[in-house]
């Protein structure tokens, strides 16, 4: 399975280049032309990323995120899940690397095949880092007013949390 995933990328690249060459495209010139856009895109992205990552780092190192997670413990008890799951649900939309690190610690602490380990695995892989995606995509285009983007995206994150708990509780 893991090998299939690793093979996908080189195969796709090979197919794209082969198809282009057969169609008579000057593949190297086209590649360079496209790659130039990468430079300007990432330069435009940098300020957005600095802003977002500084904000998240402050939130985590001030201890505020931990405090909020602590407050959420009674909610976890009411749901019948381990109180360590909710911090992951709060962290997942904000920080991808933070969520991975936290998932890893849960898997090590409870075991990957325990109920908590399974819920954590499902939760961590069933959504993306919402705020990162929103900031990157809209930041690169310079939009400030995002209308209903964040409510819609967070509805998805909340649904993923409910479904992660539900599926693991039901199917084991």
Partner 1 sequence: MLNALWFGMIVASVLYALVSGEIGNLSTALLDGSSTAVELTVSMLGSLCAWLGFLKIAEKSGLTERMAQVLSPLIGRLFPEYREDLEIQGKICMNLSANLLGLGNAATPLGLSAMRAMSEKNPSDVPSRGMILFVVLNTASIQLLPVNMATMRASCGSAEPFAILPHIWIASAGALLCCVTVCKLVEQREKRIANS
Q: Which parts of 112-141 interact with partner 1 (CB under 8 A)?
A: 112-113, 117-118, 121-131, 133-138, 140-141
Contact between 10 and partner 1 by CB under 8 A: the answer reads no
Nearest alpha carbon to residue 126 among 74, 162, 84: 162
Contact between 61 and partner 1 by CB under 8 A: the answer reads yes
- Identify which range of 61-69, 74-82, 83-91 contacts partner 1 by CB under 8 A: 61-69
Of 71, 74, 77, 150, the one binding partner 1 by CB under 8 A: 150
Residues numbered 79-98 forming contacts with partner 1, rule: CB under 8 A: 93
C-alpha distances out from residue 147 to 26, 42, 134, Å: 42, 25, 12
Residue 121 CB: number of other CB atoms within 10 A? 17
Of 85, 86, 87, 103, the one binding partner 1 by CB under 8 A: 103
Separation CA 152–CA 130 (nearest Å):
10
- Identify which range of 73-81, 83-91, 151-159 contacts partner 1 by CB under 8 A: 151-159
Contact 73, 86 (CB under 8 A): yes
State residue 5 phi and psi, 5-degree precision.
-65, -40
Nearest alpha carbon to residue 92 among 68, 66, 127: 127
- Identify which range of 49-57, 73-81, 83-91 contacts partner 1 by CB under 8 A: 49-57
Of 33, 70, 71, 77, the one binding partner 1 by CB under 8 A: 33
Of 20, 79, 83, 90, the one binding partner 1 by CB under 8 A: 20
Contact 168, 118 (CB under 8 A): yes
Contact between 58 and partner 1 by CB under 8 A: the answer reads yes
CB-based contacts of 59: which residues, under 8 Å, 6+ apart? 65, 94
Contact between 101 and partner 1 by CB under 8 A: the answer reads no
Contact between 39 and partner 1 by CB under 8 A: the answer reads yes
């Amino acid at each position: 399975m893991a090998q299939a995933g690793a093979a996908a990328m080189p195969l796709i690249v090979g197919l794209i280049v082969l198809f282009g060459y057969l169609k008579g495209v000057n593949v190297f010139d086209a590649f360079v032309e496209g790659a130039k856009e990468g430079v300007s895109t990432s330069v435009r992205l940098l300020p957005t990323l600095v802003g977002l990552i500084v904000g998240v780092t402050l939130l985590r190192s001030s201890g505020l995120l931990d405090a909020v997670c602590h407050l959420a413990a009674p909610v976890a008890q009411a749901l019948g899940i381990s109180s360590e799951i909710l911090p992951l649900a709060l962290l997942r939309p904000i920080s991808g690397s933070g969520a991975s690190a936290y998932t890893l610690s849960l898997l090590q602490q409870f075991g990957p095949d325990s109920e908590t380990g399974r819920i954590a695995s499902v939760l961590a892989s069933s959504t993306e880092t919402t705020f990162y995606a929103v900031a990157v995509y809209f930041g690169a285009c310079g939009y400030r007013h995002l209308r209903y983007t964040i409510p819609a995206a967070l509805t998805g994150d909340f649904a993923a949390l409910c479904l992660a708990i539900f599926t693991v509780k039901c199917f084991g």
